[in-house]
A = this chain, B = another copy of it.
Amino acid sequence: MSRRRLLGTAGAAGATGLALGAAAGAGTYAASRPEPAMALTALGSAAVPFYGAHQPGITTPLHARGHLIAFDLAPGAGRKEAAALLRRWSESARAMMAGEPASSGDTGIALDAGPSSLTVTFGFGRTFFDRTGLTGRRPAALDPLPAFSSDHLDPRRSEGDLWVQIGSDDALVAFHALRTLQKDAGAAARVRWQMNGFNRSPGATPHPMTSRNLMGQVDGTGNPKPSEPDFERRIFVPAAPPSGTPAWMAGGSYAVVRRIRMLLDDWEKLALAKQEQVIGRRKSDGAPLTGGTETTEPDLDRLGADGKPVIPANAHARISTPEANGGAAMLRRPFSFHDGIGADGAPDAGLLFICWQADPLKGFVPVQRKLDRGDALSAFIRHEASGLFAVPGGAGQGEYVGQRLLES
């Protein structure tokens, strides 16, 4: 993240230079493509490193555009084919994240553009381990999530042997990565499901601001911050995993992915005050109904003049606070989705909810259990698909993602 910020700042200076007619160089990117040797702006030139203790795309700031794609290994493909695939994928991801063309038969879709903060993140689903003869290395944390009473899950759009998350601040760069990785899959794996998402474009709002979702709600206020002392511990498996967690998950994390459709036609009929009661926060700025600013702690005990809690008992913000869930914390890093008009005539839109945690049983599950029982928001949303993936630590130089699982 710090490198991205650094490049972003350098790029901003370059962009200003360009606006003034100066010929600012684009650094490493200019060297990797022959022409045109023109300066990119901060958005285009921003690059996220591929190698590291953690995979990219977890603590990377929200991307303007994203693709989620799940694959199942092809019949007959096993550990060897999976290892070769992860090796191909890692090399393509490394190249594209550096703004280089993919190694073989690049489609050209990303030509002219910089990496635009592209990240590619790889995960393994529960079914991957039996199919590759690696059942003994499957983390217990991949045990199926409990069924929630409000679930309306479509199994064809849920789970999968392999999961890839692609994010970029440019839609064509993201699409290029999607097509490249699909091509890399070759005969080894088949697409199971694929979803597209988006967030605000960098620069549409003053920085930094918490994002909004398609209900118009400030979304992400309670996220743990990298500056907090227990951030790493909550989001990532330690470098020396605790007993019961396989060694190959060192530096890894678990992603829970939920396609949450928003019943916008119903939601938008609610008056603003009612919406704020459902959420427990002001819509304008995300502050708790008990006052202050977005980052003020909600006063959950405060009663109104009518003797009722100012933040209602079933308000989303009350039920989902870490305080109400034994300190559970997950890092939510979602995309909005909008797939046009659904078969029911209503917008097929909502949130591709993605949350990251060192342990789903301490992160997602206790919160969702409480939301499932008593969240006022549940009348306006529908969980339509679900996935749980073990996301190994980042690759070291010369390594590929998942190598410690597949080759040790």
A interface list, Cβ under 8 A from B: 9, 12-13, 15-16, 18-19, 26, 35-36, 38-44, 64-65, 105, 107-109, 111-114, 116, 169-173, 175-176, 179, 183, 191, 193-196, 198-207, 209, 212, 214-217, 264, 268, 272, 283-285, 336, 338-341, 345, 347, 349
Contacts and interface: CB of A to CB of B under 8 A. Distances in A.
Contact of A216 (B36, B111, B170, B345): B111
A39 B18 CA distance: 21
B18 A9 contact: no
B44 A204 contact: yes
A217 B108 contact: yes
Contacts of A173: 204
Contacts of A285: 35-36
Nearest 5 pairs of A and B residues by beta carbon: A108-B216, A38-B206, A41-B203, A43-B203, A170-B204
Contacts of A272: 105
Contact of A171 (B176, B193, B200): B200
A171 B16 contact: no
B18 A16 contact: no
Nearest to A270: B105
A200 B39 contact: no
A257 to B, nearest CB: 15
Contacts of A340: 194-196, 339
Given A40-B205, A114-B204, A206-B38, A341 B194 contact: yes
A214 B105 CA distance: 15
A341 B36 CA distance: 34
Contact of A202 (B43, B112, B191, B194): B43
